[in-house]
Amino acid sequence: MLGLIAGIVYFTGTLYWITRLMIVYGGMQPLVGMLVNALLIAYLALFPAFFAVITRRLVVAHGPSALMAAPLVWVATELGRTHLLTGFPWVLLGYSQATVLPVAQLASIFGVYGVSALVAGVSAAASVWVVADRMSDRWRALIVGALPVLLVAVWGSVRAANAEWTKAGESVRVGLIQGNFIEEEKRDPGQAPRIFRSYVRMTREAIGSGAQLVIWPEASFPSYFEEDLAAANVVRAIARQARVPILLGGDQIERGLPNQYYNSAFLIRSDGTTAGFYRKMHLVPFGEYVPLRRLLFFAAPLVSVIGSGFAAGETPTVLAVDGHRLSVAICYEIVYPNLVRQFVRGGSELLTTITNDAWFGPTSAPYQHFAQASMRAIEEGRYLVRSANTGVSGIVDPYGRVLQRSEIYTPAVIVAEARFLTASTLYARYGDVFAYASVVFTLAMLVLARRRVK
């Protein structure tokens, strides 16, 4: 019960904005919107509840010192939250350290899950200090909790200060376009020409400021790129005349019975031809599709604009640009560590992410989203560039430093340097080994606890 209550508080405080999204943009009645979000929060709260049940079991079997196993149990539940029922790994505990760069460097080895374990370890040590009967157990817990933090902080400070990868690879000046169009404008067909003209104007401004690669946000192209030849030809002409590639987000339709709709990104080469496209693989539940649609029929208005919702892409496509390769994570795909790792394993030298955070409104969500994206740069040892319709747009180096960023709900053109990199971190090479080892450890401890209690 304590774990469940903690989970409800945790997710109510970090996901409150979903209720607004469902009411304002989903056309739901306030009570229904609150109900749908409450169901999501209740589901997510089960993971801290399972954590509490498992940890309690270990403490009963092994005594208060078993609390020091809590970080691994916590990571096991976070991994479960990442994958079960398509997964929703929003605001994992490790993201709390996204701006504490010495500590955040641990993500380059163990991913964000390793940072989660470090944070949970400090809390576990404090708990043992409070409940342990013997002073020796208290000091042991203090050392076990404090020593890893000290070592990580010292090593992380040196790593971030050396910043070797900021001098490696080939530089590229990236132009990020933040159009700042609220959802009501984007949904109005009469506004499409004005929106498109704004993106064209801002693109020319970015090129005039020296951009060698221009990136538009998610769903920024006002129609189907492959079918609106007039608008597409304008973009192609700009790329060809300036010799600058343009990456843009737009819907894609595959005609058939029935039609298939995709949330996609298109890369236009510097000669005006299409280098390729990427179809979003991880769709937003209740935003781009309704899971358990028959059971949750009352949530259907959220995706009624395109009938049954978007279809998911199947391939983590990497796009070639001027002798290099880049990847595109669309919207909240960037919070899936393993997906971004697949891009890097496939040859991506630059992480890009495009999003439309206009849905979130002036809440904490855009800032949460940007912080989580920043962690991917550290994990993969790559520059990350982010173009967001209403912000936050920005550029993050491989050590998590934010080099440029915009404010939310203001038009912005950001032109700054990033680099194409080919070196890789331990996390990029080995992935979530630590997280899966935590699951194995948790299961083994439960088996031992069962035998001990018997």
What residues act catalytically?
218, 280, 331
Q: Is the peptide bond before 392 cis (omega within 30 degrees of 0)?
A: yes
Cis peptide before 102 (omega within 30 of 0): no
Q: Per-residue DSSP letters for 86-119?
A: G---TT-GGGGGTT-HHHHTTHHHHHHHHHHHHH
Instruction: Classify residue 447 as exposed, middle or buried by CB count within 10 Å of its CB (0-12, 13-18, 19+).
Output: exposed
Could you list the beta-strand ranges (E) of 138-273: 170-178, 213-215, 246-254, 260-268
> Residues with Cβ < 8 Å from 136, sequence gap 6 or more?
none
- CB burial class (10 A; 0-12, 13-18, 19+) of residue 130? exposed
Distance CA 71, CA 58 (A): 13
| C-alpha dist (Å) from residue 96 to 92, 133, 197, 412 | 8, 31, 39, 27
The secondary structure of residue 220, as a DSSP letter, is -
Specify the residue for token string 């498992």: 54
Q: State the alpha helices, DSSP H only, in 209-250.
A: 229-242
Round to whole Å and give the CA distance between 38 and 36.
5
Helix and strand numbers (H, E) in the chain are 14, 12
